[in-house]
């Protein structure tokens, strides 16, 4: 089986496919939006990378969501997340609080999916 790297640079790849699996790097938003806007932006990035890897959100297996402030932002992020998911297609998921790369980043999401 071959490994295919998508949107690679010297430090990381945006996505990697191996067989029927797609692994995405953590996706982060721009800095100017609230957590609702940042979550929507991150999910749009995930949609684009999954499409490039011949997958989509209905093929998600696992998601890890990092929040800068889980007490403040969990409900708002979860609302956007729930609206984005197709009914009956929720992956396994872990959500945790973490110090992210920049203080302006409120949410980072990484996923693993199956290819179509």
Sheet holding 60-67, edge to edge: 3-8, 13-18, 21-24, 107-114, 60-67, 92-97
Cβ neighbours around 40 below 10 Å, total: 17
What's the pLDDT score for residue 33? 86
- What are the tens digits of pLDDT across the range 10-59? 999 999 999 999 999 999 998 678 999 999 999 999 999 999 999 999 99
Total structural domains in the chain?
1
- What are the tens digits of pLDDT across the range 45-92? 999 999 999 999 999 999 999 999 999 999 999 999 999 999 999 999
What's the pLDDT score for residue 30? 86
Structural domain harbouring 76: 3-114
Residue 56's domain is classified under what CATH number? Answer: 3.30.1330.40
Q: Quick one: pLDDT band at residue 97, thresholds 50, 70, 90?
A: very high
Task: For 66-86, give the DSSP string.
Answer: EES-HHHHHHHHHHHHHHHSP
Are the beta carbons of 76 and 34 closer than 8 angstroms? yes
């Amino acid at each position: 089986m071959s490994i295919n790297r998508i949107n690679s640079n010297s430090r990381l790849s945006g996505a990697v496919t191996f067989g029927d699996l797609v692994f995405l790097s953590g996706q982060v938003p721009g800095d100017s939006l609230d957590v609702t806007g940042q979550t929507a932006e991150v999910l749009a990035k995930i949609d684009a990378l999954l499409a490039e890897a011949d997958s989509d959100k209905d093929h998600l297996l696992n998601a890890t969501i990092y929040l800068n402030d889980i007490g403040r932002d969990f409900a708002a992020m979860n609302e956007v997340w729930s609206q984005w998911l197709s009914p009956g297609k929720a992956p396994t998921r872990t959500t945790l609080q973490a110090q992210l790369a920049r203080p302006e980043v409120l949410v980072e999401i990484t996923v693993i999916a199956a290819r179509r």
